[in-house]
Chains A and B, each alone.
Chain A
Amino acid sequence: MADPMRVRATENGGVVDVKILMKHDMETGQRKDAAGKTIPAWHIQTVIATYKGREVFNAQFGPAVSKDPFLNFKFKGGAKGDKVTVTWVDNRGDKRTDEATIA
């Protein structure tokens, strides 16, 4: 399985602020290696965050999202102690799911 992402979720006044730092090379498919061969595109395509089974954020990434993607969004109605689950899928079908407890 891919490297874990770091997820942080903090609740303030009923709004949960979620910050995610994923680990992924996000190759654009434009770079060439030392031998001159093009390194194929390899990047996260979809990121979905859920809270109690309900989708709270949905992101589609192209290869122009920076390496080790960072994502920050906020949703209403979350409570401290509950979990936020984040899943990403890349263009090779690899995936990663991590969760954070809302602080």
Chain B
Amino acid sequence: MNQKRREVLRVSAVLSLMAATGLISEAQAAEWNKTAFDGKSVADVIKALGGSGTEKSGAITFNAPDIAENGAVVPVAVTSTLPDTEQIAILVEKNPNTLAADFTIPAGTEPFVSTRVKMGQTSVVHAAVKAGGKWYVASKEIKVTLGGCGG
């Protein structure tokens, strides 16, 4: 059995155990969306997330610096006022893999998230939001003075 397969089985086992012990529900123990995280373009990622395209929306507030001194740590924050916001995703266009993170917003949780991502180089970054079954997006270019992906 090769290493990758072993890892996938191990992760599945851990998630199943967590579900069995009630730590997380079966629904939550969903597989990590490998296809989406392998996507090399915004279109690829949105398709893997079940969308057919994105529509620009001014109801998404995307807070991020204009210039990131260090591409290894770029703080980004997204707030959505779109009704029925259920998912928020951060896409960095010029990264080796476009999708940085994908957040599920359960009912009762505010449509807001803040995190820190790596950027390999200056790039347009997109905050994609799924609301009412449709994907919307707000974008901004972040200049990077020192790339942060390594290699």
Contact = CB atoms under 8 A, between A and B. Distances in A.
Q: Do A and B come into direct contact in the complex, CB within 8 Å? A: yes
Contact of B115 (A53, A58, A69, A76): A69
B18 A64 contact: no
Contacts of B37: 60, 62
A18 to B, nearest CB: 10
Nearest to B102: A60
A10 interface: no
A100 interface: no
Contacts of B75: 70
A11 B7 CA distance: 38
Contacts of A28: 96, 118, 149-151
Nearest to A31: B150
B43 interface: no
Interface in A72-91: 72-77, 85, 87, 89, 91
Given A74-B112, A76-B108, A64 B28 contact: no
Contacts of B7: 91-93
A70 B100 contact: no
Interface stretch (B9-17, B53-61, B138-146): B9-17
A59 interface: yes
B124 interface: no
Contacts of A59: 101-104, 113, 115
Interface of A: 15, 26, 28, 30-32, 45-46, 48, 50, 53-67, 69-77, 85, 87, 89, 91-93, 95, 97
